[in-house]
Amino acid sequence: MLTMRAALPFTLLALCAALAACQQAPSASPVASAQAAPVAEEIAWRHGDVEDAFADAQQSGKPVLLYWGAVWCPPCNKLKATLFRDPAFIALTRQYVPVYLDGDSEGAQALGEQFGVRGYPTLIVLDPQRHEITRLAGGNDSAELTRALRLAVNRRTAVADVLRVAVVSPQRVSEDDWRVLGDYGWEVDASRLAGQRDPVALLRQLAASAPDPALQRRFGLLALGAGSTGKDAPSPDAAEREATRALLTTVLAAPAEVRANRDLLGYQGPALVARAAATPVEAQQLGSQLLAALERADASQDNAADARLSSVITELTLFKQQHPDTAVPPALQEKAHERVAAADAAAKTPHERQATISSAVYVLREAGDDAAAETLLRAELERSQTPYYYMPELAELAEARGDKTAAVDWLRKAYEGAQGPATRVQWGVLYVEGLVRLTPDDGQAIEQATAQVIAELDAQPAGYHQRTRQRFERLATTLQAWGRAHHGAQTLVRLQARMGESCAKAAPGADAGAACSRWLKS
């Protein structure tokens, strides 16, 4: 099921992630640079009208800035609370044709599939002919995003063309071209740029070819995060450990590089420490260096309370990694509670709270205080504009304490309260998965709930794309396993027939139609 853990902003293999920026000294903060910027109250977004935006771009010669987000997405709300309110950034967007593509707007999932958008939030720059100039993970440092988009605004070379030259003739790649490759949101790319090439090997090749040492380290970190720090990764040999240790210690000693790689170091840092350290002592030393570097970087950010919340997540992860059978010590528990309280108090607006609370809940749960996490979540239901977002976590807490009835009830309430066609499918799938897991013998409830989720497609003309399609494919796997274990073959036949009724409207295209019609078929 979707939990707040799954919604954390960074992972190279899944979504709601977030890196960017090549390695150079960071520009002044958006707030500081705003003092000299023209005053503008808000970004002139075109909401969902992509075709009109490209028509305007062809007339004006401006590039299109496509933003893909969702109202409930925490890092999306962080952008709304920070970057999108910054006068310097708002002024910069006047050099673009900015399009706001909400994942629940009509046709958004099909457009997301068309542009290869992997997760919320993503920013894509395209020229008037729809060639992709760059894409950026939207959860990054505001100053770094502003710098990257300032670089991209006057470019007309597709990033795919830049990469082709970099692979075969790196000496022909300009400094700005290398910066674009370093800024590129590889973790929200879904192999769109890499194509059939192994992304790890490609990033290592770029690390070896880039002329700037900081950029070499950037690509090196991305390569490690892309394929060598997961649970199934083979144990590194001595040479690999030494190379990882040298890379990590060099980056941690450079404040500009720490800031440019902040999210990668925060969320992948503990895995990098484990891969670099040969002994527990080395792991503790590297972990301390990592935490000190993150604390220094976070101290300079405007939303320091929220940033320091992120640092304690890394500290908790490191402790559990190095002491898997030991309870979190009281001092670290106290730090976790203090930082949650500070972040909670600092988050005033709805956007700020949506950006912060899920991380605060994660901290409390990692610190071993599920009761405090539940108290925070219940209080937020009264304040939030999207309370359904927090209900799956309340369901998980109920399930963890053995209250299956409450867990199912929270999942049902979340589905009932979800807003927007794609979001309703996503939360509906969570509900059905909860029923399968918690009440597998109640075939009638499972069939009824699944039929209701299928009916959501009736409100989505051409909606069987991207996240909606992915959720249905995941649900099919769950139901097929349930059907085999609980004599549900006839139920699956009926559900497949019901799906067929919706496919013609939801998936009129050949590819999507074929995928939709195969749903639940072995």
List, in order of start, the domains of the chain with CATH numbers. Answer: 1-237 (3.40.30.10), 389-522 (1.25.40)
CA dihedral 171, 223, 183, 4 (to 10 degrees): 170
For residue 289, the surrounding DSSP H or E stretch is: helix 280-299
Radius of gyration (Cα) for the chain, nearest Å? Answer: 23
pTM of the model: 0.88
DSSP 187-254: GG-TTTTTTTS-HHHHHHHHHHH-SSHHHHHHHHHHHHHHHSSSTTSPPP-HHHHHHHHHHHHHHHT-
Residue 288 CA neighbour count, 13 Å, CB half: 6
Are 519 and 476 in contact by the 8 Å Cβ rule? The answer is yes
Predicted confidence at residue 270, as pLDDT, reads 96
pLDDT, tens digit (0-9, with 9 covering 90-100), for 98-145: 999 999 988 888 888 888 887 889 999 999 999 999 999 887 678 889
Residues of the chain with pLDDT under 50: 1-40
Give the start-end residues of each E strand in 70-149.
97-102, 122-126, 132-137
Structure tokens at 270: 């503990």
Q: What is the pLDDT of residue 1?
A: 38
CB 132 within 8 A of CB 125: yes
User: ∠ CA 506-507-510 to the nearest 5 degrees?
Assistant: 165
- Between CA 366 and CA 351 the distance in angstroms is 24
Residue 4: its pLDDT value, please?
39
For residue 361, what are its two tokens? 């809940």
Q: Give the strand order in the sheet containing 97-102.
A: 46-47, 97-102, 64-69, 122-126, 132-137
Q: For residues 403 and 443, what is the distance between their CA atoms, to the nearest angstrom? A: 20
The secondary element (H helix, E strand) that includes residue 68 is strand 64-69
- Site of tokens 């097929």: 480
Structure tokens of 301? 């950010």
Residue 231: per-residue pLDDT:
61
Whether omega for the bond prior to residue 121 falls within 30 degrees of 0, making it cis, is yes
Closest Cα partner for 360 from 383, 349, 376, 384?
376
3-state DSSP call for residue 125? strand
**CA dist 357 → 73, 159, 316 (Å):** 11, 36, 17
Q: Beta strand pairing status for 132-137 and 64-69?
A: unpaired
CA distance 1 to 4: 10
CB 244 within 8 A of CB 236: yes
Distances (CA, A) of 474 to 315, 354, 407, 426, 441: 33, 27, 20, 10, 20
Q: Which two tokens stand for residue 314?
A: 């890394």
Q: Which residues contact 193 (CB under 8 A, 6 or more apart)?
A: 159, 160, 163, 184, 186
